[in-house]
Amino acid sequence: MSVLALKADKRRPHGPSRVQQFLPLFPPSLILLLFFAIPMGMMVGLSFQQSDASGLTLASYERFFSDQFTLMGMARTVVMSGLVAICVTIMAYPVAYFLARSKSRWRALVFALAIAPELAGVVLRTYGWLIILENQGFINNALIWLGVIAEPLPLAKNMFGVVVGLTHVILPFGILSLLTSLQGVDPNLEKSAQILGASRASVIRHIVVPLTVPGIVSSMLLAFTMSASAYATPAILGGAGFKVLATMIYEQVLFYIDWSFAAVMANVLLVMMLIVALIGTRLEARLHQKLHT
């Protein structure tokens, strides 16, 4: 706060000087520069270097794109994130629709239920799914007790478990993003369609869903980017058998201590995110244009 005080004391008739005006920006910018901008630049540089050679080289990138193991990791990341994007959006839609239209006293409760898990942190929720899905877990024990199955179903330590866990983690964000979109749709449109004799199903199909396509797209993109960069859920629910880029990066840094290769993986993940975000903003802009003309 001393910076602000200093600024105020030296008031001048023509307002504070340029330098003084920018002075409070100095501490936050310095921290961002030192612990974000410079490390990011360094990481990008490191990905073009090899410990045993001087100068810049694409060797680590070549290794990434020719290695079966890393390519599989990348493919898993994409498939997993795509599935989570679809599951989140489908599951979030009814909740968001209820929250956007309901005036009942249950609304506050549903809202709290939908958002509260976010406070619990990823570890608690992922641990909960592990107890539910593992071989001696809730579901398998129940099914065996009921005599439906003899052997436990493989529900955890694979793609299925990770998708379930990530869907749970990301669902609140999907609900919020669809909610904003649904609140933008005039409820009178639905009412007038119903008065004119449209069934509930056709109102949803021909009015609600088409008008919320931008919201659906943004919810899917959000879910995709969030799951592609998630670490904890794949690490806990995926186990050794299901490696995605995020968990592979961690291993490169802490077990194999191959910084250059870790930097390459991180860059690939980052570029993947940026491409998805770019496609997303383009698509959203185009959809907006289409809806408003």
Partner 1 sequence: MNQVVSALFWVSLVLVLTFITLPLVVVMAASLSPTAVVTLRPWEWTVQWYGDLWTARWLDPFMLSAQLALIVSIASGVLGLLAAYVVAYEKCPGHAAIMSFLLSPLAVPQIVKGVAIVLFLSSAGLYNWLGTPGLIAAHIILTLPFAVRMIATAMFNFDKNLDRAGQSLGASKMDRIRYLLLPIIKPGVFSGMTFAFIISFNNIPLSVFLVRPGETTLPITVINYIEYSLDPVLAAVNVASLLFVLGVIFIFEKIGGFSAQIHGGSK
Residues 245 and 269: beta-carbon distance below 8 Å? yes
- Residue 180: CB minimum distance to partner 1, A: 9
**Which is closer to partner 1, CB of 256 or CB of 290?**
256
Per-residue contact flags (x/-) with partner 1 for residues 96 to 135, judged by CB under 8 A: -xx-----------x--xx--x-xxxxxxx-xxxxxx-x-
State yes or no: residue 243 binds partner 1 (CB under 8 A): no
State yes or no: residue 38 binds partner 1 (CB under 8 A): yes
CA distance readout (Å), 286 to 89, 113, 292? 20, 34, 10
Q: Given candidates 78, 143, 204, 211, which one binds partner 1 under the rule CB under 8 A?
A: 204
Taking alpha carbons only, the member of 165, 179, 108 closest to residue 131 is: 165
State yes or no: residue 253 binds partner 1 (CB under 8 A): yes
Q: Given candidates 274, 275, 285, 291, which one binds partner 1 under the rule CB under 8 A?
A: 274
Q: Give the number of residues written for the chain.
A: 293
State yes or no: residue 32 binds partner 1 (CB under 8 A): yes
Among residue numbers 60 through 79, which ones bind partner 1 (CB under 8 A)?
none
Q: Cα–Cα distance between 88 and 90 in angstroms, integer?
A: 6
State yes or no: residue 184 binds partner 1 (CB under 8 A): no
State yes or no: residue 36 binds partner 1 (CB under 8 A): yes
